[in-house]
Amino acid sequence: MRVVVIGGSGHIGTYLVPRLVEAGHEVVNVSRGKREPYSPHGAWRHVTTVTADRDAEEADGTFGRRIAELEGDVVIDLICFTEASARALADALAGRVRHFLHCGTIWTHGPSAQVPTPEDAQKRPFGEYGIQKAAIEAYLLDRAHRDGFPVTIIHPGHITGPGWVPVNPAGNVNPAVYQALADGEELALPNLGMETVQHVHADDVARLFMDAMASRSAALGESFHSVATTALTLRGYAEAAAGWFGRDARLTFLPWEQWQGTVSEQDAKITYDHIAHSPHCSMDKAERLLGHRPRYTALEAIHEAVEALVSAGTITVSR
């Protein structure tokens, strides 16, 4: 099939686009042209790249038409963040696409209640990102059920892989946290370190998009989580990560009000977002309907990314 991927040069696309090419699809990558994939792959030589500024073209009302004119059998949107953007694209593609796949987020759930959280749990999103993504999901699924719009939504957790810093055991993305563990230094965690994070390897997300395409009839009109099968407590994560460097974690715990004063305002903001959600989502639905099961555990996915940071010199390890 002809597959149009919007935002295919990022985290997910780095793995998804080569998988699509290897499966025999004709692939068109639509991007701003400002980023290379995180990992090189020969498959990119067979990809047609279209440069587009989505924000500017949406402002003048031309983006949806441009995507429709690419005549994809399948359109995969990895970078839609507002309901208005989703509406405009769906309007342009209605009746012209066989399968539309949208990348959502587990943030649509808001804070965890009963865990593991299934896809149909009550939505209580907070923060602009989660609220907008939940609105997109509600709109697209309503359109699927009401008008037959052929949509599938994939909700990733904390995407990780070589080439970028994963969400760390303090719940932010500062590589200094890993450096402290590598050096055997004391690391302060908020509260009792029992809040959770739930990572997923970018390639497992890519695989779920592929599985949804392969099982189109089962995937249409549905949303699926894409996470590792278990979540990690901050404390357990820190202890495991220290072990990668041959260390025992030296942890201390501070109440949130005190802990946030020990880090930058940006790090505290990111940490709060993660621990206020404390996700632990179920992967049962993807396995039941699509036969999909993640290949990476959370720690395996993170470890691969951390090893890449060591190789790049972002984290230094004494030998």
On whether residue 292 sits in a domain, the answer given is no
Q: Do 204 and 215 fall into the same domain?
A: yes
User: pLDDT at position 216, please?
Assistant: 98
Q: Do 273 and 240 fall into the same domain?
A: yes
Q: Look up residue 175 and give its DSSP letter.
A: T
Q: How many domains does the chain have?
A: 2
On whether residue 285 sits in a domain, the answer given is no
- Compute how many other C-beta atoms are within 10 angstroms of the C-beta atom of residue 244: 17
Which range marks the domain in which residue 250 is found? 164-197+233-279+299-311
Contacts by 18-26, CB closer than 8 A, 24 or more apart: 18/43, 18/44, 19/206, 19/207, 19/210, 20/210, 21/46, 21/47, 23/210, 25/1, 25/74, 26/1, 26/2
Q: Do 129 and 172 fall into the same domain?
A: no
How many whole angstroms separate alpha carbon 18 and alpha carbon 87? 29
Length of the chain: 319
User: pLDDT at position 243, please?
Assistant: 98
How many whole angstroms separate alpha carbon 81 and alpha carbon 216? 24
How many whole angstroms separate alpha carbon 240 and alpha carbon 245? 9
On whether residue 97 sits in a domain, the answer given is yes
On whether residue 190 sits in a domain, the answer given is yes
The pairing of strands 74-77 and 48-51 is: unpaired
User: pLDDT at position 319, please?
Assistant: 63
User: pLDDT at position 111, please?
Assistant: 95
Which portions of the chain are predicted below pLDDT 70?
Answer: 34, 319
Q: Which residue has the tokens 């719940």?
A: 171
Q: Do 124 and 254 fall into the same domain?
A: no
User: pLDDT at position 265, please?
Assistant: 98
**Helix, strand or coil, per DSSP, at residue 117:** strand
User: Which residue type sits at 7?
Assistant: G
How many whole angstroms separate alpha carbon 254 and alpha carbon 186? 12
pTM over 0.95: yes
Q: Do 155 and 260 fall into the same domain?
A: no
Taking a C-beta distance cutoff of 8 angstroms, is the pair 222, 211 a contact?
no
Taking a C-beta distance cutoff of 8 angstroms, is the pair 73, 2 a contact?
yes
Q: Do 37 and 140 fall into the same domain?
A: yes
Q: Do 100 and 125 fall into the same domain?
A: yes
- Whether the link from the prior residue into 18 is cis, omega within 30° of 0, is no
Q: Do 247 and 118 fall into the same domain?
A: no
Q: Do 28 and 38 fall into the same domain?
A: yes
